[in-house]
Copies of this chain bind each other. A is one copy, B any other.
Amino acid sequence: MSGYVSLPKRLLVGRPLSSEQMGETLLPKWLALPVFCSDPLSSNAYATEEILLVLSVGGLALLHLTPWVAAAVVVLLVTVVVSYRQTCHAYPSGGGAYAVSRANLGQRAALVAAAALLIDYVLTVAVSIAAGVSNLVSAFPGLSPYAVEISIGLVAVLTLANLRGVKESGRAFAVPTYGFVVAVFSMLAIGVARTLTGHAPVAESAAFTIDPGTDALVGLALAAVVLRSFASGCTALTGVEAVSNGVPSFRRPKAGNAAATLAIMAGLTVTMFVGLTFLALASGVHVAEDVSHLVGAPEGYTQRTVIAQVAGAVFGLNTPGFYAVQVFTTLVLVLAANTAYNGFPILASILGQDGFLPRQLSRRGDRLVFSNGIIILSAAAAGLLAAFDASPTRLIQLYILGVFVSFTLSQAGMVRHWTRALREDPDTPRHALHRARAINGFGAVLTTVVLVIVLVSKFSHGAYLVVLAMPVLYLTMRLISRHYARVDAEVTPTPDGVPLPSRVHAVVLVSRLTTPALRALSYARASRPSTLTALTIRTSPEATQRLVDEWEARGVPVPLTLVDSPFRDITRPAVDYIAEFRRQGPRDVVAVYIPEYVVEHWWEQLLHNQSALRLKARLLFQPGVMVISVPWRFGHDAPPTAPARAATSAGGPRVTGLPRRTTARRGVEGADDTVTTVGVRR
């Protein structure tokens, strides 16, 4: 391999893996949890904060609604997880929204789900990285000017880790996930214990009040804020999809292990979310989207994340406990971004196989991962981070719209699935199927309601971008699919096959009498064409005359055809000349031989005329033409040295350009025999 892949790639990505090593990359549950569940786990780092930020639009007055909003999120989360456990069992080969929709709702619904998921995977990376960096900055405020650079650097690290392969990343990522769980649970235990014993921790922002900005919210405006706060809290649900998508990566029994992992994840997430929300309220954390609305904050106050403020209140700012929570929070958010690296490339590869995305996406790279998908995901996420200054609050406005589109389609698909099972599967108990359908039906209704809430409450805050992007992606995939279908129809051979060409006319392009040109002639002769001509385009009379003189002096045994080009263009006269063969014999084929200089450095390419290459590209559009590159590699294809030359000139099978040999076609009498002139004027 070493000759063809560069050392840097090997150092970064690792040695290539053989296709037979595929089985080795399956994951046990304890590794699957960090790989697939860091996204929902890590969303605790911002879900509570987003609820508080939206409610603080109404000043302190609305904060008492926080528990109710949080409770609604928990109900939703449990519903979705229960629904998805059923999906894992029903679709052990990977029950993503795309597969479920395709099986039950048809290809169009499946494509909508796919478009939604692809966009949300990109946003998962962008939001998680942005949130991770904002937690890092909460611990180390000196880094805040470099937030965008750090974010993009982290995307690069994730890219490389995933190009190396899923198993190694699973191992490398286990420690921070479990570290995050332990750190947060420790914080919750201490904080709750202190609160219950009457010594509730006090957040650094507890003394501030929040300027509502507008008058007190009543009626519809109040409802809108509460709904938007709920919609923001729903970020806690992102990533549930990943487990059911990734069932094939689990060890056997794949479906059972995946469902169990989902349940563990749900238990951990709900506990952390409830605990963090409780402690944030108990310690009096006050945050605002616009820091200037914090009344009582000192000059130059920079707002830390909610989890950082809670950790600071429980452990004290800048204590080891505080740093532990912040560092693990940052790391688990980076892993959450990694969840998308497991989902996006697999989904893209399925779409590639089905012909909705470029087929290259369905090929595994030399580390057995879908390298192209990984690279596209990274590029898109890095672009978003750069465009939105790595601000989690701005990026989160685009988020979860896609998640809920795919949730809804997936649940609706499952309802259809169970309905069909009721009809076609007499072996399963009726009540089990009815129960399963009821669960997914409830999930479908609930997620539809939430989708509408999210759409309405976030639309003007940035979600409209996603509303625009989804149909564009959908239509692109439809167009790609149509292209592939058209191509497949066109290239499928008919029973009759393909006719052999009647005759092959060889045309060798010559501009100067050089060894590469002579070699192209000799290769052309070796293919025994029906006719053989050397073609030169006369753009400069002097240069062409020199060629004709040398041609005759050497007695090259191939007729030389001159075509005039009064406008000094090479392509047009050559194409016209070549097309004439086809006009005279529609079943003939023209083989155009182009002596091509192969240089070692790009700058050398600039020194050689590109008109032959332009002609070559143009000829590919001509019917019945094949284009033959006869490469001449500088420094490698040099003629043999003197002794070898002496040996071969004794009488080897060398023909072209031999001055001593006189063939029947050689024009000894005059130019007219060897040189044919075709052209507008002479």
Contact = CB atoms under 8 A, between A and B. Distances in A.
Interface string A629-667: 111111111110000010011001111111100000000
Interface stretch (A103-111, A300-308, A509-517): A509-517
B645 A496 contact: yes
Given A494-B645, A523-B626, A607 B480 contact: yes
A648 B648 CA distance: 48
A631 B627 contact: yes
Nearest to A528: B528
B572 A499 contact: no
Identical copies of this chain, number: 2
Contact of A655 (B18, B497, B504): B497
Contact of A626 (B493, B514, B628): B628
B487 A634 contact: yes
Interface stretch (A81-89, A435-443, A563-571): A563-571
Contacts of A628: 591, 626-629
A412 to B, nearest CB: 31
Nearest to A628: B628
Interface in A517-573: 518-519, 521-523, 525-529, 539, 554, 566-569, 571-572
Interface stretch (A93-101, A123-131, A218-226, A617-625): A617-625
A529 B635 CA distance: 29
A501 interface: yes
A598 interface: yes
A682 to B, nearest CB: 11
B591 A527 contact: yes
> Chain B CB within 10 Å — which of A500, A604, A623 has the most?
A500
> Chain B CB within 10 Å — which of A496, A523, A630 has the most?
A496
A492 interface: yes
A16 interface: yes
Nearest to A604: B483
Contacts of A656: 497-498, 500
A611 to B, nearest CB: 9
B571 A4 contact: yes
A3 B627 CA distance: 21
A527 B532 CA distance: 12
A639 B566 contact: no
Interface in A213-250: none
Contact of A657 (B493, B649, B653): B493
A631 B638 contact: no
Interface in A11-41: 16-20
A502 interface: yes
A500 B522 contact: yes
Contacts of A514: 491-493
A315 interface: no
Interface residues of A, number: 101
Contacts of A501: 522-523, 526
A274 to B, nearest CB: 47
Interface in A393-444: none
Contacts of A621: 598, 631, 633
Contact of A499 (B512, B516, B606, B652): B652
A491 B504 contact: no
A523 B652 CA distance: 29
A16 to B, nearest CB: 4
A268 B566 CA distance: 42
B623 A636 contact: yes
Nearest to A541: B19
A516 B653 CA distance: 35
A365 interface: yes
Interface in A566-593: 566-569, 571-572, 587, 589, 591, 593
Interface in A476-497: 480, 483-484, 486-487, 490-497
B653 A499 contact: yes
A492 B20 CA distance: 52
A365 B539 CA distance: 11
B626 A497 contact: no
A538 B627 CA distance: 27
7 contacts: A18-B566, A486-B634, A497-B656, A497-B657, A499-B652, A596-B620, A627-B631
Given A4-B571, A16-B569, A483-B607, 16 more contacts: A360-B609, A483-B604, A491-B515, A491-B516, A493-B515, A496-B645, A496-B648, A497-B654, A498-B515, A501-B523, A523-B589, A620-B631, A621-B631, A627-B629, A627-B631, A629-B629
